[in-house]
Amino acid sequence: MAGRGARFGLGILAAAGLLATSASFLNAAEPVAPAGAWAERVQIVYDAASRSVERRTVRAWDFHPEKNLDFVWEPATGQSPDATIAADGTIGGRGRLVWRVRGSASYDPATVYSTYEGELRDGRPDGQGRLELRSGEVFQGRWAAGALDGQGLSIDADGNRYEGAFADGVANGKGRLLSRTGEIFEGTFVGGLKNGEGTTRLPGGTVYRSRWAMGREIGGNRPDVLADARVGGLLKAQAGGGDAGKVEIGVVVDERMTQRSDMQYQNLVRDEDIAIYPVSDQYNGTWNGTDTVQAGGNFYEGMDWEDAPAFAGVWPELAEVVAGVDFLAAHNAAFDRRVLEGCCTSYALPVPNKPFLCTVQLARDVWNLRPTKLPDVARYLCLQLNHHDALSDATACANIVLAAEAEGYDMRRRIPVYAQ
């Protein structure tokens, strides 16, 4: 797909209130002037210096007010509210800005429209940051007034990746386009289009030089695709032409799926292959032999299931306990809720009609913590934890709830009602 009149850019204007990134690598819209309106809400913020919480009005620029989205602003750990919230409520500094469906449960990742992590100024991304959209698109690099401007990268919903220079949200200058089919173009871009000289590496490994004029190839000696396939040890689906002869195979991680998963993966087109690997540095380090795996207590170990009882055998006793509580607390409650519902459904047991409280969101609301993995929150609250031991994890979650109550936090704000 590299090069047949393709435009690579972010026809800028804000993804759901964040910025402007309608980034389609094909037929992207022309940049237009920023539009939108201020969005405002009242939320709880945590002051690390005084170890207290307070309610503050916060404001962010919403590029798409017609979508009627709501937002949550989470300042980076260690930043005081006064450093990230101006007198009129406008947010700035380092933090995390999430836009989601208004009125939706905060634990549900399916309702998140966009997430930006990085630097902001005047309610807009400004400085280094990364934006992930509900569509699976990703934009990372240097931002200016809500648009990528400088060095950065963008990944479209189909998995094609651009790395290089941006101007006003559009690929402009030196850059590389890595197609999901394995084709790599490296050269110059103007207004989101290939322009000038460049080098293309075809999936089979064939490399050639070409010249481009605003997205159209006007020079060079593009090799026969079948010849390139033979170089790479590949054969076309059908050498006789027709629709089958036009088949191209692409390999890509679906960003919409991996963003909602506990174990996240990423893909990268390289000169020699297309790599699929975890996002986690710890997993990558262990796989590559550059990290340390210690015996006991590491996240690679699981329980011995040989003598574990079936869910149906223990549920009657647990059901009595669940029936007597007002809510259930869990760290990343959406996951635990799905597991409980799945287990009950599998054994044809009634699903408990109880609301869940997510201690991840609770820790962010009360103490403004980030990251908020269970060990991080336990360490902050000086709780003992043997992570991934069921009893220890459950005890830690209970203590997080008690600590939040001691701070005067109203649990009713964070407990969604699942019952319909």
Residue 274, in any domain of the structure: yes
Q: Are residues 26 and 106 in the same domain?
A: yes
Q: Are residues 165 and 78 in the same domain?
A: yes
The residue to which tokens 């989205």 are assigned = 69
Give the tens place of pLDDT for each residue, 291-340. Answer: 766 655 455 555 566 677 888 888 888 898 998 888 899 999 888 988 99
- Amino acid in position 363: A
Supply the range of the domain harboring residue 338.
Answer: 311-413
Q: Are residues 265 and 344 in the same domain?
A: no
- 188 pLDDT exceeds 60? yes
- Amino acid in position 130: R
42 DSSP β-pair partners: 57
Query: By C-alpha distance, which of 122, 127, 153 is closest to 140?
Result: 153
Helices (H), 25-169: 81-84
**Of all residues in the chain, what percent carry a pLDDT higher than 70?**
71
Query: By C-alpha distance, which of 232, 175, 253, 259 is closest to 2?
Result: 175
- 206 pLDDT exceeds 90? no
Distances (CA, A) of 173 to 138, 162, 188, 252, 405: 20, 12, 5, 26, 54
Residue 161, in any domain of the structure: yes
Round to whole Å and give the CA distance between 114 and 62. 12
Residue 318, in any domain of the structure: yes
At 261, the pLDDT band (50, 70, 90 cuts) reads low
Q: Are residues 325 and 260 in the same domain?
A: no
Write the CATH number for 407: 3.30.420.10
Round to whole Å and give the CA distance between 115 and 71. 10
Round to whole Å and give the CA distance between 254 and 35. 30
Average pLDDT over residues 24-47: 62
Residue 302, in any domain of the structure: no
- Picking from 292, 325, 358, the residue at the C-terminal end of a domain is 292
Is pLDDT larger for residue 81 or for residue 261? 81
What local confidence, expressed as pLDDT, does residue 260 receive? Answer: 62
DSSP E strands, 156-230: 161-167, 170-178, 184-190, 193-201, 207-213, 216-220
Residue 29, in any domain of the structure: yes
**Of all residues in the chain, what percent carry a pLDDT higher than 90?**
19
Q: Are residues 182 and 330 in the same domain?
A: no
Residue 301, in any domain of the structure: no
Q: Are residues 111 and 205 in the same domain?
A: yes
Most confident of 70-79, 101-110, 166-175: 166-175
223 with 208: CB under 8 angstroms? Answer: yes
Q: Are residues 119 and 201 in the same domain?
A: yes
Q: Are residues 242 and 379 in the same domain?
A: no
Residue 305, in any domain of the structure: no
- DSSP class of residue 49? T
HSE value, Cβ hemisphere, 13 Å, CA-based, for 2: 31
330 with 336: CB under 8 angstroms? Answer: yes
Q: What is the pTM of this model?
A: 0.57
Q: Are residues 242 and 348 in the same domain?
A: no
Count the domains in the chain. Answer: 2
- Picking from 265, 292, 319, the residue at the C-terminal end of a domain is 292
Q: Are residues 206 and 352 in the same domain?
A: no
The residue to which tokens 């690929």 are assigned = 171
9 with 169: CB under 8 angstroms? Answer: yes
At 126, the pLDDT band (50, 70, 90 cuts) reads very high
- SS in 3 state form for 213-262? ECCEEEEECCCCHHHHHHHCCCCCCCCCCCHHHHCCCCCCCCHHHHCCCC
Residue 339 corresponds to which tokens in the numbers above?
């597991």
The residue to which tokens 């037929």 are assigned = 27
DSSP E strands, 232-369: 265-269, 274-278, 328-330, 356-358
Q: Are residues 275 and 332 in the same domain?
A: no
Q: Are residues 201 and 232 in the same domain?
A: yes
Residue 60, in any domain of the structure: yes
- Picking from 292, 324, 339, the residue at the C-terminal end of a domain is 292
